[in-house]
Amino acid sequence: METPKEVQFILASVSPRRQDLLRQAGYHFAVEPSCIDERAFEQNASDSQQLSKQLALAKALEVARRYPEQVVVGADTVVDADGRIIGKPDDAAHAEQITRLLFNRPHKVITGVAVVCRAKDVQIVEADISTIYPRPLTEQQIAAHIASGNWQGKAGAYGIQESGDEFILRVDGSYT
């Protein structure tokens, strides 16, 4: 991958939402997906904040190994429902199960972010925690959400930016 001078960093993520947010903020970056096994981290995590930070760092480090002179940003989002870590659903049935769990109570959304530059020995890792207060969903809303496919590839089986906000009463913390 060529990294032109106007590129400020490499984003170790294929998430369209992350790319949109960074572009809206005026950043110029290249995208290089990481090749890590997220499931391996999920099995060993003690809490959601630790997991989000570990995944963000692992993604950034994996890409930084390939581009040691570049600044690499990794990020990962996990959902915490009463201490239970909720990742991305495996299929529609799993997405429905997660949706029923989360839209019945407040839950936390934790995003870990890591900035790495191997050549300069830089490694910064932080996490942002937001509490989501959802609206109770009807059976029709749950069915429509699952049928939409908007749950695919998203921690907690929803993205607040893709009509998930109509299901939310309030967000304490960062919307992004």
Separation in Å, CA 12 to CA 26, 39, 54, 144: 18, 17, 14, 32
Q: Residues 76, 80, 90, 128: which is the catalytic one?
A: 76
CB-CB contact of 71 with 8 (8 Å): yes
DSSP 70: S
What size, in residues, is the chain?
176
Q: What's the rounded Cα separation, in Å, for the pair 27 and 9?
A: 9
Active site residue 37: no
Task: Return the active site residues.
Answer: 76
